[in-house]
């Protein structure tokens, strides 16, 4: 029955009832009209959701006054993709849309509207692009995170849902960081926003200064995204040319892209520094005692620790041939029973993450990943659906899927206050502190620093 015919019948019935039972006919008419309106609204929302296909995060960090609420256009895949043939089609769709989004300005256009990327391979400078996240429709795939309740490693036979590790492109790259003749013991990949020149300068002048390398075996590299602000990009280009310590990928630098920033830096370390025992992901506002860091992780190699949260029946990653067991772990401030926040600035909605808990993870300002664990995480990341919280995603969801376990370092080498252990003890990471406090901390560290 059409909507117009239904309305006609209701109008006639209401007119008839006006002379017979005016009260109850009026109530009935109102109820019927409400029901019809509700069904129409629900149907229009369904059509709107099914007409969209992809999820984009757009906009640079400087364009977003509140970086925790980036401009998001949510479009979702309509297909259920439960049958084998549909899975194959979904995977092809994901590859197609990713190829389209990663293209660079000036590439040639194909018949179906998808641009080719060969020019990028042949040395043309890539232009910044907004980030495409290839995830299945949360409404159609509500069980996509159910693997967190399993003690087995994720089965890697399904379609890939995250192709970013395979698509990383670099505007600024470095090839001299990890020579075979002088391989660092710790590779510190310092996550920094483009405008934070003062923070990068502080790191270069203190714990990341190459003068301390013989006593720390640590090399610091800054990891940046790109910007649409040409003046800001020019300044970064000059800084990179002067200091030769910046890698910059071709995704727009924004809070929504932090997960991909971490995947990008892990991808870079795996390809450029595969033999470095430990990779530290460090925010640019964290103070580091590089001497303590080296001492601590030398001890881990000599006496591999027991990880946290291992239960009977858990499937843990195997130690690769020739690797040290200590390099199969993630070291950080370990959270054994984390729950998703639904209302704070770090919130994820039930649409983004429908489960009631996260798997255990380590918090993001400073953590260290063993080289074997880096390879394992990158192997499994393409099959783990996206979550915008980079520490939850990388050290929680992907680590759980990959069977990578954690070592608790909170209070051992992590601290939030200046104390004697940071100067002459074991503590190596001072988190969440001001520039002035970091200067005072470095003065204290220098009192006990080794000298040539």
Q: Over the chain, what is the mean pLDDT? A: 76
The verdict on 33 and 140 lying in the same domain is no
The verdict on 46 and 59 lying in the same domain is no
Q: What is the mean pLDDT of residues 303-312?
A: 91
| Overall number of domains in the chain | 2
Residue 102 has pLDDT above 50, yes or no: no
Strand partners, 282: 190, 366
Q: What is the mean pLDDT of residues 60-80?
A: 30
Lowest-pLDDT range of 7-16, 284-293, 376-385, 407-416: 7-16
Alpha-carbon distance of 159 to 98, in angstroms, equals 14
Alpha-carbon distance of 420 to 441, in angstroms, equals 10
Query: Are 11 and 28 within 8 A, CB to CB?
Result: no
Tell me what pLDDT residue 109 has.
29
pLDDT band at 47 (very low <50, low <70, confident <90, very high): very low
Between 398 and 3, residue with greater pLDDT: 398
The verdict on 326 and 392 lying in the same domain is yes
Tell me what pLDDT residue 265 has.
94
Tell me what pLDDT residue 146 has.
77
Between 354 and 142, residue with greater pLDDT: 354
Q: What is the mean pLDDT of residues 114-136?
A: 37
274: how many CB neighbours lie within 10 A of its CB?
A: 11
Alpha-carbon distance of 393 to 384, in angstroms, equals 9
The verdict on 185 and 270 lying in the same domain is yes
Strand 71-74 relative to strand 278-283: parallel, antiparallel, unpaired? unpaired
Q: What is the mean pLDDT of residues 153-161?
A: 78
Tell me what pLDDT residue 28 has.
62
Sign of CA dihedral 352, 355, 357, 362: negative
The verdict on 202 and 89 lying in the same domain is yes
Contacts of residue 92, defined as CB under 8 A and 6 or more positions apart, other chains included, come to none
Strand 330-332 relative to strand 406-408: parallel, antiparallel, unpaired? parallel
Judged on CB neighbours under 10 Å (0-12, 13-18, 19+), 220 is buried
Q: Phi/psi of residue 344, each to 5°? A: -90, 180
Q: What percent of the chain has pLDDT over 70?
A: 68
Q: What is the 3-state secondary structure (H, E, C) of the chain?
A: CCHHHHHHHHHHHHHHHHHHCHHHHHHHHHHHHHHHHHHHHHHHHHHHHHHCCCEEEECCHHHCCCCCCCEEEECCCCCCCCCHHHHHHHHHHHHHHHHHHCCCCCCCECCCCCECCHHHHCCCCCCCECEEECCCCCCCCCCCCHHHHCCCCCCCCCCCCCCHHHCCCEEECCCCCCCHHHCCCEEEEEECCCCCHHHHHHHHHCCCCHHHHHHHCEEEEEEEEECCCHHHHHHHHHHHHHHCCEEEEEEECCHHHHHHHHHHHHHHHHHHCCCCCEEEEEECCCEECHHHHHHHHHHHHHCCCCCECCCCCCCCCCCCCCCCHHHHCEEECEECCCCCCCCCCCCCCCCCCCCCCCCCEECCCEEEEEHHHHHHHHHHHHHCCCCCCHHHHHHHHHHHHHCCCEEECECCCEECCCCHHHHHCCCCEECCCCHHHHHHHHHHHHHCCCCC
Residue 135 has pLDDT above 90, yes or no: no
At which residue do the structure tokens 């390809």 appear?
271
The verdict on 355 and 439 lying in the same domain is yes
Alpha-carbon distance of 279 to 371, in angstroms, equals 7
Alpha-carbon distance of 151 to 287, in angstroms, equals 36
Query: Taking Cα atoms as reference points, which of 146, 150, 156 lies closest to residue 314?
Result: 150
At which residue do the structure tokens 């926003």 appear?
193
pLDDT band at 153 (very low <50, low <70, confident <90, very high): confident
The verdict on 13 and 135 lying in the same domain is no
Residue 421 has pLDDT above 90, yes or no: yes
Which tokens in the block code for residue 275?
Answer: 């033999």
Q: Using alpha carbons, list the distances in angstroms from residue 242 to 230, 236, 424.
A: 18, 10, 34
Q: What is the mean pLDDT of residues 2-27?
A: 47
The verdict on 24 and 80 lying in the same domain is no
Tell me what pLDDT residue 168 has.
75
Tell me what pLDDT residue 29 has.
65
Alpha-carbon distance of 168 to 162, in angstroms, equals 12
Residue 236 has pLDDT above 90, yes or no: yes
The verdict on 177 and 154 lying in the same domain is yes
The verdict on 248 and 279 lying in the same domain is yes
The verdict on 220 and 290 lying in the same domain is yes
Residue 86 sits in which domain range? 52-452
Residue 12 has pLDDT above 70, yes or no: no
Sheet of strand 278-283, all strands in order from the earlier edge strand to the far edge? 170-172, 246-252, 218-226, 186-191, 278-283, 366-370, 330-332, 406-408
Lowest-pLDDT range of 145-149, 216-220, 289-293: 145-149
pLDDT tens profile 330-349: 999 999 989 898 887 778 88
pLDDT tens profile 239-275: 999 999 999 988 888 887 888 899 999 999 999 999 9
The verdict on 334 and 440 lying in the same domain is yes
Residue 2 has pLDDT above 70, yes or no: no
pLDDT band at 408 (very low <50, low <70, confident <90, very high): very high
């Amino acid at each position: 029955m059409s909507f117009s015919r239904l309305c006609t019948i209701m109008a006639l019935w209401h007119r008839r009832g006006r002379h017979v039972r005016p009260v109850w006919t009026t109530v009935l008419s109102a109820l019927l009209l409400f029901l019809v309106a509700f069904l129409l609204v629900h149907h229009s929302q369904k059509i709107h959701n099914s007409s969209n296909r992809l999820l984009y995060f757009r906009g640079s960090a400087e364009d977003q006054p509140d970086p925790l609420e980036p401009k998001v256009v949510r479009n979702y895949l309509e297909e259920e993709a439960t049958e084998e043939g549909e899975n194959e089609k979904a995977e092809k769709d994901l590859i197609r849309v990713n190829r389209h989004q990663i293209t660079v300005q000036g590439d040639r256009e194909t018949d179906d509207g998808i641009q080719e990327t060969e020019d990028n391979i042949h040395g043309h400078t890539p232009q910044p692009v907004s980030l495409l996240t290839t995830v299945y429709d949360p409404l159609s795939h509500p069980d996509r995170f159910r693997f967190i309740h399993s003690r087995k490693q994720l089965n890697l036979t399904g379609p890939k849902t995250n192709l970013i590790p395979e698509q990383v492109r670099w505007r600024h790259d470095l090839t001299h960081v990890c020579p075979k003749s002088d391989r660092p013991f710790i590779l510190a990949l310092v996550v920094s926003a483009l405008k934070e020149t003062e923070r990068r300068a502080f790191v270069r002048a203190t714990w990341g200064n190459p003068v301390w390398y013989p006593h720390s075996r640590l090399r610091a590299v800054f990891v940046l995204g790109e910007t649409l602000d040409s003046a800001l990009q020019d300044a970064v280009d000059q800084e990179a040319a002067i200091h030769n310590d910046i890698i910059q990928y071709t995704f727009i630098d924004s809070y929504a892209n932090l997960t991909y920033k971490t995947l990008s830096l892990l991808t870079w370390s795996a390809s450029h520094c595969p033999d470095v025992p430990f990779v530290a992901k460090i925010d640019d506002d964290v103070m580091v005692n590089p001497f303590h860091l080296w001492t601590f992780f030398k001890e881990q190699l000599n006496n591999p620790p027991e990880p946290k949260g291992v239960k009977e029946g858990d499937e843990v990653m195997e130690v690769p041939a020739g690797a040290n067991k200590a390099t199969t772990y993630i070291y950080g401030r370990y959270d054994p029973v984390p729950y998703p926040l639904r209302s704070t600035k770090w919130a994820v909605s039930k649409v983004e993450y429908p489960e009631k808990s996260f798997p255990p993870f380590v918090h993001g300002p400073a953590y260290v990943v063993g080289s074997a664990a880096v390879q394992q995480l990158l192997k499994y990341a393409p099959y783990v659906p996206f979550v915008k919280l980079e520490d939850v995603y990388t050290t929680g969801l992907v680590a759980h899927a990959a069977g990578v376990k954690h070592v608790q370092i909170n209070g051992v080498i992590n601290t939030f206050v200046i104390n004697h252990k940071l100067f002459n003890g074991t503590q190596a990471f001072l988190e969440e502190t001001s520039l002035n406090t970091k200067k005072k901390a470095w003065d204290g560290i220098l009192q006990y620093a080794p000298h040539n």
